[in-house]
Chain A
């Protein structure tokens, strides 16, 4: 057992928080779609990858400045979100969960193929105008990209919380998610809000793709960050923005601490499945996740 070391633990915690917020950023896209349309997006990782590819492709092959290529990535992802909703997801409204899950798995495969055809298979770089040298926060140093990711995450958290609680559109979206039939009866254009949700998820994915892409470089492997999303969203509750962030934080910290303290004992990388163990324990106690809405089922 490696001895307990307070300063090292703090460093691990900070690292976990930073990474957790970056996970939350991707998880947000997932939650937005589920919240508004009840669809599970297994292609979230591919969304992030595709956004990264657009941004990196614009910057490196066309030679556009960072902000322009980032903007193009956001616009492109919004368009993609709209398009996919129309072609793939809308016909599946009201179908069993498995159908939507499988459709997005198929979508993931398509996006992976298309990305390579369009942008090539080699790794592209995204250079954010924030520099590469880590920022010293006194007791710990943090790469600037992670700091940006954390800040963006928090901004989105606050923004979306306000959006769903206060704004007219946000309330309408919640109504749609609650009951499509009732929402329609109240004069809400359900389809419009479905499309809007996918477009919003496109924006979040685009920003996630740019930040993760800046951290890891952009190629097909970037889609793998999507795998990290599942324990995050399930732990937090599929339909909760706050849940995504808290889930991200918990998972980030769990990963960091297990890697720091369990790995040396067990002699293997535990941080991959430790989040899932935490997730299952939480699910057994609260089947709808920490902040998820409890569904009342009737026959």
Chain B
């Protein structure tokens, strides 16, 4: 009994200590807080464990250079484990801490929070996932995809296939391999329309979660359908399984393109390494590789502290996406500070700051984005990088495909 009550007391004390903290507001002057939701645990942690440190690195870099107009940036990060209730709780907490903008992670979380974003006037980025129709800034005033949505990605993939197959898709066969969840099915809207207008034959191959095995689908693709091009829209462990199985079945990887979440170095490594996956095409919304000044600055920053740059930096695809995300946040805050005249900006002002982003390239890492009040996607730019000679090499310039069709779909999706 005595031991028992002690346990209880400890638990109660811990809970009380925790609850007491909830109430305390953090008064820090000259700090602008950005709320980042992360997924360092859960099904997509392979992304979050690289992306989120990258964002923190960028904030530190900005702060080490004196911040934005004298304001320090703090990234208040909360891991939501890809769960919706935890996402809600994290959102409410970050709101209470006075964040002026947020980054979400995960389509379900984005969808679930959308109503709150509008009530709270909280500009929020959802790069590379979330609601495709959110590219329309008039309908989703506070949601900023900032990177190519699934619709733009699908269109760009078809454009790339067209260029690769000699400029015409008439009579060609394209296989679309997708993760069987709502996000996986989203590009189909675009692909179905293009199938008619471009005259190619589209067949879809669903990979049900968790997608650790897809021998049957690969056999179906390579032995029965025999497509001219394969578009893969997979997540988590499944991209590497597909690359490995397709290569094993003798399909030329140069006739495959993976959409943005099937495109990281980790996927290639897990598939059997760069030499094995030679030729595989990856779609990126942030530049891949190491040749960007901002990465060198971050490395220098670590060296100055007497530390080695973290190993996560080697996963350049995901790391650079983190840099893209955080740099655009900081850029929006920079613009917002101009609007507010140096005062701490409101959510509304950050939204306007976001809608003025133009000509910001971060040494080529960021595409030629042009975010406006009506286009929150900033143009839907992607760039294809191919696996070549042990690294990812750009195969195209920043591009987008069938922009009119995508924009029409966004408009017509009400």
Contacts and interface: CB of A to CB of B under 8 A. Distances in A.
A67 interface: no
A215 to B, nearest CB: 8
Interface in B288-329: 311-312, 315
Contacts of B223: 8, 11
Nearest to A270: B208
Contacts of B312: 122
Nearest to A18: B215
B236 interface: yes
B206 interface: yes
B269 A271 contact: no
Contact of B248 (A8, A120, A141, A263): A141
A220 interface: yes
A221 B208 contact: no
Interface in A113-144: 113, 116, 120-123, 125, 132-134, 141, 143
B249 interface: yes
B70 interface: no
B237 interface: yes
Interface in B209-227: 209-210, 212-217, 219-220, 223-224
A120 B241 CA distance: 21
A2 B219 contact: no
Contacts of A18: 215
A8 B209 contact: no
Size category of the binding interface on chain A: 35 or more
A227 interface: yes
Contact of B49 (A5, A15, A122): A122
B114 interface: no
A217 B240 contact: yes
A268 B210 CA distance: 14
Contacts of A2: 224
A222 interface: yes
A215 B219 CA distance: 17
Which of B204, B220, B241, B276 has most chain A Cβ within 10 Å?
B220
Given A8-B219, A19-B213, A121-B46, A221 B206 contact: no
A220 B46 CA distance: 8
Given A5-B224, A123-B46, A268-B180, A15 B219 contact: yes
B241 A271 contact: no
Contacts of B224: 2, 5, 8
B219 A11 contact: yes
Contacts of B249: 134, 141
Given A122-B266, A125-B273, A217-B237, A15 B216 contact: yes
A221 B43 contact: yes
Interface string A201-218: 000000000001001110
Contacts of A165: none
Interface stretch (A90-98, A238-246, A253-261, A287-295): A253-261
Contacts of B45: 116, 121, 220
Given A16-B216, A141-B250, 6 more contacts: A121-B46, A121-B49, A121-B50, A216-B212, A220-B45, A272-B180
